[in-house]
Amino acid sequence: MSRFRFTTAGESHGPGLTTIVEGLPAGLELDREGLDRDMARRQLGHGRGGRMKIEKDAVDVRSGVRHRHTLGSPIALLVANRDYENWVERMGPWESGEGVAQVHLPRPGHADLPGLQKYGFDDARNVLERASARETAARVAAGAIARQFLEAVGVTIRSHVTRISGVQAPAPHDLQPADFEGVDDDPVRCLDADTSAAMVEEINRLRKENESLGGTFEVRAWGLVPGLGSHVSWGEKLDGRIAQAIVSIQSVKGVSIGPAWDVASSPGSEAHDEIFHSDERGYYRETNRAGGLEGGMTNGEPLIVHAAIKPISTLTKPLRSVNVHTKEPEQAHKERTDSTVVPAAGVVGEAMLAIVLADAYREKFGGDHIDDVRAAIAAYEQRIDWRR
């Protein structure tokens, strides 16, 4: 069975982040500029901190690609940490560590204290370096590869910010990929200009008060064939796989498929999408309250995923904590931080959704070469009489 898999390795201030991607068919043409463009998009957004002024992320392909085409073998990607030169003594794999300050003040809301307890460390840096959202740079690298595979089979993925702190954007309706033109040029990646200005003002206001800000973002995918995922087993339900992938993003605390919370308070007649058929369109729906998924499977409508991300747990004015050595109360550890990462989180959400969908396509259609994949998809579309 063909499956799209990836794993990441690396620490926030180590030499770099590595991603191994497996399961792509041979013959897929990759766009180097497209890979680096996604990496740069992850660094966007008003409210980012000083680290973004140091790092200029780019993807270094170390294996699995020759003459711009995939070979069908594992693809190794490296994202270098430019800041590592300032952290060699503290993070170098062969340094002694003598005289290096340790972190004994866990941050509320971070992995620090549970990680110290779980792994028996006495220095929280052994935990926080890997738990850092810097790891998402490696995920975006893998997601950029997945995105290019999906684009080759007719799938488009976009994201936008819908809330930052208490500022909510108007509910979007029938968005199409063209509606996202220029979203990355907006300072908070919001589709509504007035709301964007209010979000920027809110970030500036709370940043002066030493606060961090959370919010929500939405990711959409168009062009998905019906029947990705399955109803037959809980582990094969695509909504469950998507939810796990999105919630695995650092600081994400909630996810929904479509307008789930609105549907939860609606009567059944207003909660589901009636089914129609025409010679021109085949089967279709006039609403998309299911968010493109029914019974754990895609239904041919655009896939809509919402995510809620909490405020960053590192504050410029730290919260109260306890010194794990002395057990005395102190303020939590302070790391260099952002005010908000919601705009960047949407890009990471795109990457994670692309990874799950690429896996679903590989699982369903297999194929050693990209032409085999396209042929299998075309045969399936003809069998189910599906029109894009």
Domain boundaries, the chain: 105-384
State the average pLDDT for the chain.
94
What's the CATH code, domain 105-384?
3.60.150.10
CA end-to-end span of the chain: 27
Could you report the per-residue pLDDT of 266-314, keeping only the tens digit for each? 999 999 999 999 999 899 999 999 999 999 999 999 999 999 999 998 8
Q: How many CB atoms lie within 10 A of CB 215?
A: 29
* Residue 1 in this model has a pLDDT that exceeds 70: no
* Beta partners for residue 275, in sequence order: 285
Task: Render pLDDT for 21-53 as a digit per residue (tens, 0 to 9).
Answer: 999 999 999 999 999 999 999 988 887 665 555
Token pair belonging to 306: 């919402």
Provide, rounded to the nearest whole percent, the portion of the chain with pLDDT above 70.
97
Q: What is the pLDDT of residue 55?
A: 62
Query: Could you give the CA distance from residue 365 to residue 375 in angstroms, rounded to a whole number?
Result: 9
In this prediction, residue 336 has a pLDDT band, given cuts at 50, 70 and 90, of confident
Pair of tokens at residue 250: 């650092």
- State whether residue 11 is helix, strand or coil: coil
Report the candidate in 50, 131, 134 with the shortest Cα–Cα distance to residue 337: 50
Angle, CA 49 vertex, CA 90 and CA 104 arms, to 5° = 40
Mean pLDDT of 217-238: 97
pLDDT, residue 48, reads: 60
d(CA 383, CA 345): 38
Counting beta carbons within 10 angstroms of the beta carbon of residue 253, is it exposed (0 to 12), middle (13 to 18) or buried (19 or more)? Answer: exposed
Give residue 138's Cα distance to chain centre: 11
By the 8 A CB rule, do 88 and 76 touch?
no
Residue type, 234: W
Write out pLDDT tens, residues 50-91.
Answer: 555 566 789 999 999 999 999 999 999 999 998 899 999 999
CA distance 287 to 174: 9
- Give the C-alpha separation, 255 to 27, whole Å: 35
What is the dihedral sign for C-alpha 115, 117, 121, 123?
Answer: positive
Does the pTM of the predicted model rise above 0.75? yes
3-class state of residue 5 by DSSP = strand
Tokens of 103: 């972190």
pLDDT score of 333 more than 70: yes
Tell me: the pLDDT tens digits for 163-204?
999 999 998 878 999 999 999 999 999 999 999 999 999 999
Helices (H), the chain: 32-41, 51-54, 88-91, 112-119, 125-131, 136-152, 193-208, 238-247, 260-264, 342-365, 370-384
